[in-house]
């Protein structure tokens, strides 16, 4: 079985019976349930055969799914009770069932085949559908995911670029830095809350918003990062790196807010920015 962020599918493959099938499951189904449903489907297929075999072996790479089916603990997961009932029915019609764990991704052919079937079903969804009921845990995690999406879309109504570019909540790794002082500085620059003269001016209209080095410009993050002549010699490496990668020398790109750029490049830009902040000394003004 396999998952992508929105779809869960599961698959069964039997070389002996020359049988294969894949199913798209209810949105929000966990990988654990998908494993259970695959086992339950395999058992049902055997049970529905005209000639019941004396013995059936199911191979699964999910030890937790196997343990759950084999244990006697009560469950609210339908696939578990489904599998248990079918094992009991098989037993009463003379078929002994064993469920065997196999390690995944170790080129066991049947397992690889089932993985491929599920992955294809996930992307193309041209097989069957199973409208399985979600367990309580799955409903909770689905609700949480929806809540996160709602929160994010509410946050994104604010005008800040650092929020608007977000496609999900959580940490963007190149926005952090091991050095706490640098990390704080990066965060202030992205959020637009810093100790530069332009921000002081927003709080105190009598203060002077212009460059502290006497250049005729408002001292904001753009001035500091891109144009202030005082720090021009410290920008050289950052400028060269960006032009070498055909990237614009502008604030969003430098601050890691251009999410179209690949992570490797983002980390390099961040490191060069950190060097600029420290070497020019501007880290102490932000």
- 124 vs 213, beta carbon nearer Zn ion: 213
Q: Which residues bind Zn ion (CB under 5 A)?
A: 211, 213, 215, 228
In whole angstroms, how close is the CB of 149 to Zn ion at the nearest point? 41
In whole angstroms, how close is the CB of 223 to Zn ion at the nearest point? 6
In whole angstroms, how close is the CB of 229 to Zn ion at the nearest point? 7
The answer to whether 66 and 99 have CB atoms below 8 angstroms apart is: yes
130 φψ region: left (φ > 0), alpha (ψ -120 to 50), beta (else): beta
The answer to whether 79 and 60 have CB atoms below 8 angstroms apart is: no
Beta bridge partners of 10: 23
Rg (CA), the chain: 29
Number of other residues whose CB lies within 10 A of the CB of residue 37: 28
In whole angstroms, how close is the CB of 269 to Zn ion at the nearest point? 22
Beta bridge partners of 25: 130
In whole angstroms, how close is the CB of 120 to Zn ion at the nearest point? 58
- 21 vs 221, beta carbon nearer Zn ion: 221
Task: Report d(CA 224, CA 69) in Å as an integer.
Answer: 63
- 111 vs 280, beta carbon nearer Zn ion: 280
In whole angstroms, how close is the CB of 227 to Zn ion at the nearest point? 7
Task: Report d(CA 143, CA 216) in Å as an integer.
Answer: 53
Beta strands 8-14 and 19-25: pairing type? antiparallel
Q: Is the dihedral of CA 97, 100, 67, 107 positive or negative?
A: negative
Closest CA to 32 of 13, 8, 14: 8
- 144 vs 213, beta carbon nearer Zn ion: 213
- 89 vs 218, beta carbon nearer Zn ion: 218
Q: Is the dihedral of CA 239, 241, 245, 251 positive or negative?
A: negative
In whole angstroms, how close is the CB of 226 to Zn ion at the nearest point? 10
- 179 vs 227, beta carbon nearer Zn ion: 227
Closest CA to 175 of 234, 284, 231, 258: 258
- 80 vs 238, beta carbon nearer Zn ion: 238
The answer to whether 61 and 101 have CB atoms below 8 angstroms apart is: yes
């Amino acid at each position: 079985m396999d998952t992508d962020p929105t779809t869960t599918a599961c698959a069964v493959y039997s070389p002996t019976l020359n049988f294969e099938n894949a199913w798209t499951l209810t949105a929000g189904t966990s990988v654990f349930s998908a494993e259970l449903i695959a086992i339950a489907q395999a058992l049902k297929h055997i049970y529905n055969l005209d000639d019941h075999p004396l013995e059936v072996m199911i191979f699964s790479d999910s030890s937790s799914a196997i343990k759950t089916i084999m244990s006697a603990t009560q469950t609210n997961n339908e696939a578990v009770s489904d599998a248990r009932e079918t094992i009991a029915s098989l037993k009463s019609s003379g078929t002994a069932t064993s469920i065997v764990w196999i390690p995944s991704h170790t080129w066991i052919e049947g397992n690889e085949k089932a993985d491929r079937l599920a992955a294809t079903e996930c992307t193309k969804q041209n097989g069957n559908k199973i409208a399985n009921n979600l367990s309580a845990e799955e409903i909770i995690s689905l609700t949480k995911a929806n809540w996160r999406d709602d929160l994010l879309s509410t946050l994104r109504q604010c005008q800040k670029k650092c929020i608007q570019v977000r496609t999900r909540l959580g940490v963007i790794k190149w926005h952090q830095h091991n050095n706490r002082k640098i990390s704080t500085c990066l965060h202030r620059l992205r959020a637009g809350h810093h100790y530069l003269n332009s921000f002081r001016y927003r709080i105190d209209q009598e203060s002077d918003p212009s460059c502290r080095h006497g250049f005729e410009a408002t001292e904001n993050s753009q001035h500091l990062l891109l144009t202030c002549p005082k720090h021009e010699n410290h920008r050289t490496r950052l400028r060269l790196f960006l032009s070498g990668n055909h990237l614009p020398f502008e604030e969003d790109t430098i601050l890691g807010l251009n999410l179209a750029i690949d992570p490797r490049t983002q980390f390099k830009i961040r490191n060069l920015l950190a060097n600029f902040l420290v070497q020019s000394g501007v880290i102490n003004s932000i």
